[in-house]
Amino acid sequence: MPHPQTKPALWGAVLLFMGEDASPQTKKILEMSAQGLGVDKISKSLGKDNRWVTRVRSNALRDARAAGFDETRLDSVVRVTRTAETLTIEEEHSLRAQNKLLRAEVRDMKAELAESRALMRMLDSAAKPKLKPINTKRGKGPRQVAATAFLSDTHFDEVVNLQETGGVNEYNRSIAERRLKAFAEKTVVVARDLMSGFDVVHLDLPFGGDMVSGNLHEELLRTNEREIMDTVDHWSEQLATVVMTLSKEFPSVRIPCVVGNHGRNTKKPRHKGRVRDNFDWLIYRTVQRILEGQVDNVQMAISESTDITWETMGHTYCLTHGDQASGGAGWGGIFSPIMRLYEKKLKAYAGRGNSFDYLIMGHWHQLLDAGPIMVNGSLKGYDEFAHNLNFRPEPAQQAFWLTDPERGKIFSGPIFVE
C-alpha cells in the first residue's frame, strides 16, 4: 500500500493515467481524492455510502495497475510535483503582475481598434471628391531664346602627364583637338536637341582667356608641346573652324573676347598695354582675319581692357577672365573671392553710370553657377598643379546656358568635352 502522505498524489496519478478511460463518476471521486478529501466527505458530497466510494477507488487502482500503472515511482512524482508547486507559488506574484499589464495592453489595443474602425466607417461613408485636371495652356509656338557656349581656359599645347595627376587626366595637342571638336558638336546637340522646346535664335560664344598656357612659368616653357608662335598659328585655324561650323547652325553668333593671365608676355601682370601684349589677343585677331569675308553672321568683339559687356535678349553680361580675384584657399573655396570681385565690379560700373545683370569668368577651372555669377570649367581639365594642391578633380567641361527675354539666364549646365 502507498504511504498515507502519497494518497492524494496516488489518486491524482491514477486519474492522469486513466484519462478518458475512466467513467465520469470515477473521475469525480478520483479528483476529490486527489484534493485530499477522505471517504466520509466524498460520500456525503455524492450522497453515497463509504463502502461504495472505497470500492470505486479500489477498482480504479486495480484497473490502472492492470494497464501498467506503477505506484512504486510515486515518491519521485510527489517530489517533482511539490517542487513545481513551490516554483509556482514563488512565480505567482510575477505572473499576476504580467497578466495585469497584458490585460491593460489588450484593453488599449481594443480601444485603438475601435477608433480605427470608426474612422474607416467615416471615410467609407464620405463622398469621394470628383477631381478635375488643371487646364494647362500651351504656348503658340517655341519660345525664342539665346544660347551661350562659354569657351575659356583651353591652355592649348600644354602637356599634362597622366601619372603626375594620379591617373586622373592627360592633355596634349591631339587631345585638345578632340575636345575642341566635341565642344562644337555638343554645343549644337544641346542647343538644338536637348533644348528642342525652345527656338534658339542666337548664340553667344565668349572667349574667356587663357587660350594658351604660354611661357609664363619656366616649367611651361620647358614642357609645352610647341613653341608659342607655332601654338598661335595652329590653334587660330582650329578656333576659326569651330566658329565657322557654329555659324552654319545658328542665325547669328557673337564672340566677345577677353585675354587671360597665362598668355601675357611679361612675368608680372601689367596695366598699360595689357591686352595687346598677350598671345590670346593675337589668336583672336588671327581668327577674326581668317573669318573676314567667309561668314556674314558672326560678330567678333575683342576687348581692349580686362572686361567686355554686351546685351542679349534684354539682359546685360559682363565677361572678365577672373584673375583679378585672389584667394580661394579657405573653407569658402572660390566662392569668397569671386563674390568680392562681383561686388567690386558692380560698384565700379555703377559709378560709371553702367550696370550689368550677370558676371561671367573663367580662370578658376571650376564650373559654378552662382546665380548672377557664372564661372567656367576648363578644356584642359585636372592638371599637376590641381593634384599637388589637393583640389577636387573636375572633368574637362565648359558652361552652357540659355537667356530668356523675361527670366534671364536659365537652364545652365556643363558641356562635357571628354
Q: Is 235:282 a contact under the CB 8 Å cutoff? A: no
Residue 149 CA, distance from chain mean position? 28
β-strands 253-257, 198-204: how paired?
parallel
Partner residues linked to 111 by β-bridges: none
Burial of 335 (0-12, 13-18, 19+ CB in 10 A): middle
- The rounded distance, in Å, linking the Cα atoms of 265 and 358 is 30
Same domain assignment for residues 41 and 159: no
Look at residue 397 and tell me if it is in a domain. yes
Residue 280 CA, distance from chain mean position? 40
Same domain assignment for residues 152 and 52: no
Cα angle for residues 42, 43, 49 (degrees, 5° grid)? 155
Look at residue 377 and tell me if it is in a domain. yes
Q: Is 317:356 a contact under the CB 8 Å cutoff? A: yes
Look at residue 99 and tell me if it is in a domain. no
Which residue, of 16, 38, 69, is where some domain finishes?
A: 69
Per-residue pLDDT of the chain (418 residues), as tens digits, is 444 445 787 887 887 777 777 888 888 888 888 888 888 888 888 888 888 888 888 888 888 787 777 777 665 555 544 554 555 566 777 777 887 888 888 888 888 888 888 888 887 877 777 888 888 777 777 899 999 999 999 999 999 999 999 999 999 999 999 999 999 999 999 999 999 889 999 999 999 999 999 888 888 889 999 999 999 999 999 999 999 999 999 999 999 999 999 999 888 888 999 999 999 999 999 999 999 999 999 999 999 999 999 999 999 999 999 999 987 766 678 889 999 999 999 999 999 999 999 999 999 999 999 999 999 999 999 999 999 999 999 999 999 999 999 999 999 999 999 9
Residue 407 CA, distance from chain mean position? 28
Amino acid at the residue 312: T
- The domain that holds 307 is classified in CATH as 3.60.21
Look at residue 303 and tell me if it is in a domain. yes
What letter does residue 225 receive in the DSSP assignment? S
Same domain assignment for residues 255 and 402: yes
List of long-range contacts for 404-407, beta carbons under 8 Å, 24+ apart: 404/143, 404/145, 404/313, 405/144, 405/145, 405/313, 405/314
- The rounded distance, in Å, linking the Cα atoms of 121 and 115 is 10
Q: What are φ and ψ of residue 277, in 5° steps? A: -105, 35
Which residue, of 35, 69, 103, is where some domain finishes?
A: 69
The DSSP secondary structure of 330-357, one letter per residue, reads STTTTHHHHHHHHHHHHHHHHHTT---S
All residues at 6 or more sequence positions from 361 whose CB lies less than 8 Å from its CB, including other chains: 208, 319, 320, 321, 322, 325, 338, 341, 373, 374, 375, 376
Same domain assignment for residues 214 and 362: yes
Query: What's the count of helices (H) and strands (E) in the chain, helices before strands?
Result: 11, 11
- The rounded distance, in Å, linking the Cα atoms of 318 and 354 is 11
Q: Is 407:198 a contact under the CB 8 Å cutoff? A: no
Same domain assignment for residues 183 and 329: yes
Q: What is the pLDDT of residues 148-189, one digit of tens each?
A: 999 999 999 999 999 999 999 999 999 999 999 999 999 999
Same domain assignment for residues 360 and 257: yes
**Domain containing residue 366:** 143-416
pLDDT at 192: 92
| Torsion (CA) 189, 195, 196, 201 in degrees, nearest 10 | -90
Task: Domain count for the chain, please give it.
Answer: 2
Look at residue 339 and tell me if it is in a domain. yes
Look at residue 102 and tell me if it is in a domain. no
SS3 state at 250: coil
β-strands 397-404, 408-416: how paired?
antiparallel
Q: Is 153:260 a contact under the CB 8 Å cutoff? A: yes
Q: Is 259:270 a contact under the CB 8 Å cutoff? A: no
- The rounded distance, in Å, linking the Cα atoms of 414 and 225 is 28
pLDDT at 5: 43
Look at residue 112 and tell me if it is in a domain. no
- The rounded distance, in Å, linking the Cα atoms of 131 and 124 is 17
Written as nine digits, the cell of 287 is 581668327
Look at residues 256, 375, 369 and name the one whose alpha carbon lies nearest to residue 309: 256
Which residue, of 54, 69, 84, is where some domain finishes?
A: 69
Q: Is 321:327 a contact under the CB 8 Å cutoff? A: no
Q: What are φ and ψ of residue 413, in 5° steps? A: -175, 175
Task: Compute how many other C-beta atoms are within 10 angstroms of the C-beta atom of residue 114.
Answer: 10
β-strands 368-369, 397-404: how paired?
unpaired
- The rounded distance, in Å, linking the Cα atoms of 253 and 205 is 7
- pTM greater than 0.75: no
pLDDT at 1: 45
The alpha-helical segments, DSSP class H, found in 126-172 are none
Same domain assignment for residues 323 and 181: yes
β-strands 368-369, 373-375: how paired?
antiparallel
Look at residue 123 and tell me if it is in a domain. no
Q: Which residue has the cell 596634349?
A: 172
pLDDT at 2: 44
Instruction: Assign 3-state DSSP to the chain and report helix, strand, coil percentages, each to 5.
Output: 45, 15, 35
